[in-house]
Amino acid sequence: MTDLRVLVVMPLGEQLGGGEMMFRQLMQHGRGRGVEWIAVFTKDGPMVAETRALGVETHLVEAGRIRELWRRWQAIRRIAALARERQVSLVFGWMAASQLLAGPAAWIADIPAAWYQVGLPEPDWIDRIATFCRARGVLVLSRDVAAAQARVWPPRAQRLVYPGASLERFDAVRGESPAALRQRLGLPAQGPLIGIVGRLQRWKGMHTVIAALPAVRAGHPDATLVVVGGAHDTEPAYGDELRALARRLGVEHAVHFAGFQADVPRWMQAMDIVVHASDREPFGIVVVEAMALGKPVIAGAAGGPAELIVHGEQGLLVPFADEQAMAAALRRFLDDPALAARCALAARVRAREFSAERYAEAATAAILELALEEEP
């Protein structure tokens, strides 16, 4: 059987979050599964060359900003022409933003379209227009995202495809000594080390963990927190706010801001407890990564993490922005090492269900179904 060609429209050229990681995993592990991928980037960046190096046919069709209507119309026409020329079976938008280009291009080329909702839909014009664009279906990455997407008109058929984590990166460091890594990374040698990994954005909840630290240190005075993540363009002042909060609470000496770090697995391996404090995280790849390392994990009680963790079994769940609940969860793990160990072991088992390979297999199968589906 000849592989079906699927043209994927990617709106970013560099990795800024989990959506770009998922795209890279699909291009890496989704080949040889019945689909010939054609990648179209609408913004230049390192991922263009990286995707081409994987042996994937890759094009750059720069579309400019959303307000540059003429430039975007030209990009839509070029994508449509490429789709016709390469005789693709489906035009697939990666994220709602790219569906604004992929959907119209597919309509012009008279080719079926579909897209991946990799975020939590908002009642804004981007998600509304993306959903309005003709599509055979929408891939969603959690049940929470599915419910939110279902509230956007018009209703579209959905397929749930959970993301995966590049578990091999974390398997490679699981045997390394946390104590040795602390020394290597310049972290405190003594006391419990709590860690949180993510871009410095308010919805990621770093302020909640810092606010919980005084109550934690009341029972564990040598506990420290390390924040791994760089500033985000939309909230450049949030890092300064976090530092000011730590000073105001008198715990600035117990909070280490590591900034952006490329070697996240080793930073996480150095931690005793990993916290993921986001507000309705669509999925939570970082949660899977921490679970794969066998770390006790505390995550948000809403959104994707609640689909990964059963409270008290693979980790603990707390409401967003509830500093008292966060402090209680941290103390519960620190006061009960046996519970922490049981959750960590169960978390490792659960994480194996979310490998990059399984994700690529499921995503490819779902996209193939949409491509082969007959029109009603």
| Inter-CA distances, 74 with 50, 63, 81, Å | 25, 8, 11
Which pLDDT score, from 0 to 100, does residue 17 have? 83
Percent of the chain at pLDDT above 70? 99
- Rounded Cα distance between 59 and 39, Å, is 6
How confident is the model over 145-201, as pLDDT tens digits? 999 999 999 999 999 999 999 999 999 999 999 999 999 999 999 999 999 999 999
Mean local confidence (pLDDT), 254-258: 98
Sign of CA dihedral 165, 166, 169, 171: positive
CA trace torsion 170, 176, 180, 185 (10° rounding): -20
Tokens 């040598």, residue located = 222
Architecture of domain 167-354: 3-Layer(aba) Sandwich (3.40)
Say whether pLDDT at 374 is over 80.
no
Which pLDDT score, from 0 to 100, does residue 148 have? 96
Which pLDDT score, from 0 to 100, does residue 1 have? 55
Q: Categorise residue 140: left if φ over 0, alpha if ψ from -120 to 50, beta otherwise.
A: beta
Which pLDDT score, from 0 to 100, does residue 149 have? 96
Q: Give the per-residue SS3 of 101-133.
A: HHHHHHHHHCCCEEEEECCCCCCCHHHHHHHHC
Which pLDDT score, from 0 to 100, does residue 157 have? 96
- Rounded Cα distance between 17 and 11, Å, is 13
Mean local confidence (pLDDT), 366-371: 96
In this prediction, residue 376 has a pLDDT band, given cuts at 50, 70 and 90, of: low
Which pLDDT score, from 0 to 100, does residue 112 have? 97
CB 297 within 8 A of CB 274: yes
In this prediction, residue 122 has a pLDDT band, given cuts at 50, 70 and 90, of: confident
In this prediction, residue 375 has a pLDDT band, given cuts at 50, 70 and 90, of: low
Q: Classify domain 4-164+356-372 at the CATH topology level.
A: Rossmann fold (3.40.50)
Mean local confidence (pLDDT), 80-94: 98
CATH 3.40.50.2000 segments of the chain: 4-164+356-372, 167-354
pTM for the model stands at: 0.93
Which pLDDT score, from 0 to 100, does residue 15 have? 85
Which pLDDT score, from 0 to 100, does residue 16 have? 78
